[in-house]
Amino acid sequence: MSVLSPLRHLPDQARRALRGALGWMLLAAMLDGLAGLALVPLILAWFDQQSVQPSALLLLGLTLLQALVSYVAQRRGYLAGAGLAAGLVSQMVQHLPRLPLARQGQLEDLVRGPVFNSMGIPAHLLAPLVTALVTPTMVVLGLFFIEPRLALALALAYLPLFALLRWAGRRSLALEQLRQKVDRRAGQLLQTFAQQQALIRSAGDAGQGQLALRQALHEQH
């Protein structure tokens, strides 16, 4: 399954906007790596007491081009975020008639929370992720043409780092899922405890309900 396959559930316009923004982000990250590689001939020319003008012009050109492409990618990310939120709202509206009346009141909180926050994903989360993956890869690939041994050492060092980051990501995901599960349980107990106040007061025994609620709240910490 492709990484972008979940986007098929979005409207065509939102999907095209996300893919377009991703393309500009990839180009900006590649130019960032090339600009970093342009420092190598500049430094070598400086220490060899040769003319640094060609290398400096190359670095300046790549830097300006990367800044321009990065600006376009950022704007495309904002537009893609707006399209993503609009697509999610559109899908929610289509599923609205299928929901029971008791759950339709929760849609307002859903739109204000996760759907609204999704607008920042392309510009603020996707772009740094693409840069963190593509730019070092471009630097390592470029170093193979300049200093193969150094590039090989960096590539070998990347493998344990990638494994560590992958483990940390899975660990963070597991902890986040556990936290959400505990929060849902605490919320359900709190709602049940509040709804049954009349029955608890008439029975004169609120100790068991309070104990379960306190235990659920304690698990959140």
Would you say how long the chain is, in residues? 221
Q: What is the DSSP string of 149-214?
A: HHHHHHHHHHHHHHHHHHHHHHHHHHHHHHHHHHHHHHHHHHHHHHHTHHHHHHHT--HHHHHHHH
d(CA 60, CA 2): 37
The distance from CA 152 to its chain's CA centroid, rounded to whole angstroms, is 29
C-beta separation of 92 from 111 below 8 A: yes
pLDDT per residue rounded down to tens, the chain (221 residues): 455 555 666 667 777 888 888 899 999 999 999 999 998 888 888 888 888 888 899 999 999 999 999 999 989 988 888 777 777 777 666 666 666 655 555 555 555 666 666 777 777 788 888 888 899 889 999 988 888 888 898 888 888 888 888 888 788 878 888 887 777 777 676 776 666 666 555 555 555 555 655 665 565 55
Residue among 16, 38, 13, 3 nearest 138 (CA): 38
DSSP code of residue 30? H
d(CA 95, CA 88): 11
pTM, two decimals, is 0.68
In the three-class reduction of DSSP (H, G, I as helix; E, B as strand; rest coil), residue 61 is classed as helix
Residue 169 burial (10 A CB sphere; 0-12, 13-18, 19+):
exposed
Q: For the chain, how big is the Rg over CA atoms in Å?
A: 26
* Domain ranges within the chain, ordered by starting residue: 1-146, 148-221
Backbone angles phi, psi at 142, to 5 degrees: -70, -35
User: Taken in order 177, 179, 180, 182, is the CA torsion positive or negative?
Assistant: positive
DSSP code of residue 97? G
Residue 20, C-beta contacts closer than 8 angstroms, at least 6 positions apart: 76, 80
